Structure 1
Amino acid sequence: WIMHNWKDEECVKILKNCKEAITNQGRVIIIDMIMENKKEEDELTETQFFFDMQMMMLFGGKERNEKEWANLIFSAGFTDYKIITNTPGILSIIEIYP
C-alpha cells in the first residue's frame, strides 16, 4: 500500500525500477485501492474518498481508479495487468507483467 502516497510521475519511476529488477517471466504485485467510478453514497465509497483526500493533503498522492492504474502501468513500460481482487473493501491486488 505504497503507490497512493506518490504522484503519478513518481509512481511511474517506481514501476520502471521494478520492471528493470524482474525477469521477462516475472511480475510485480501491487496491493492498493482501486477507486470505484460510481456515484453511490455507500460507506465503501465514502471511505475511498476519505483516503483519497488524506493522500492529497498529506503526500500529494491519490487513490486511483482502474483507468488511472492502467495508465501508470503502461507508462512504465509494462505490457499487461490483471486485477486479481476488486471486491468491496479497501485493498485490491493488481498483478502486472513486463
Structure 2
Amino acid sequence: MKCIVLDLPHVVFGMEGTNNLTYVAGDMFEAIPSVDVVFLKWLLHDWNNESCAKILKRCKEAIAGENRAGAKVIIVDMVLDVFGRDDKAMETCLFFDIALIPYVSGQERTEKEWAKLFFDAGFTGYKIIPAFGLRCLIEVYP
C-alpha cells in the first residue's frame, strides 16, 4: 500500500517520505491527488456544509476513473444520531457540537445531514459503522 499525505505547503515543507509514504503540498479545496481511497479523520466537522461539499467533490474527483473498483472515501467523524448511543454519549457528542461554534464554522452532524452532503457531492451511497467510541467509520461510494 502506498500512502499520500496532502497538506498545506508550509505543513509538509521539509517532510521526508518513505518507500510507501509521500508528502504532497496542496489544498484540498483545489485538488486531491488521484487515489483509490481518500481518508479523512476528524476533519469535516471543522467545516460548514458549503466547504464540506467542496472537499467531498474534490474527493470524488480523486477516486474517479476506470479500473477503480473498490474506490471510496473513508471518514472518521461523529454521527449524532447513530444507533445505540446512550444519553451520556449523546450528551458528549452535543458538547463537541457546541464547542466547535467559537473556533470553526463546522458542526457535528446527524446521519441525515451527512447523507445530504454525500449525495449533493455526487456520491451514490454510504455506510456508517459505529467503531471508535463517539466516532464512526463512514464509507462513501462514488
Query: So what's the TM-score if we normalise by structure 1?
Result: 0.88
Task: Tell me the residue number matched to 1:78.
Answer: 123
Identity %: 49
1:6 Cα deviation (Å)?
0.1
Task: Tell me the residue number matched to 2:89.
Answer: 44
Opposite residue 23 of structure 1, the aligned amino acid is A
- Residues 5/17 of structure 1: CA separation in 2 closer, same or farther (3 Å cut): same
* CA–CA separation in structure 2 for the residues paired with 1:43 and 1:60: 25
The answer to whether structure 1 residue 10 and structure 2 residue 63 are counterparts is no
1:54 Cα deviation (Å)?
1.2
Residue 98 of structure 2, aligned match among 53, 59, 66: 53
Larger strand proportion, structure 1 or 2? 2
Where structure 2 has 5 or more consecutive residues not aligned to the other structure, the ranges are: 1-41
Task: Tell me the residue number matched to 1:94.
Answer: 138
Task: Tell me the residue number matched to 2:13.
Answer: none
What stretches of structure 1 move > 4 A for 4+ residues in a row?
none
Q: Decide whether the 8 Å contact of 1:4 with 1:32 is kept in 2.
A: yes
* CA–CA separation in structure 2 for the residues paired with 1:20 and 1:42: 39
Where structure 1 has 5 or more consecutive residues not aligned to the other structure, the ranges are: none
- Residues 32/41 of structure 1: CA separation in 2 closer, same or farther (3 Å cut): closer
Equivalenced residue count is 96
Task: Tell me the residue number matched to 1:33.
Answer: 78
Larger helix proportion, structure 1 or 2? 1
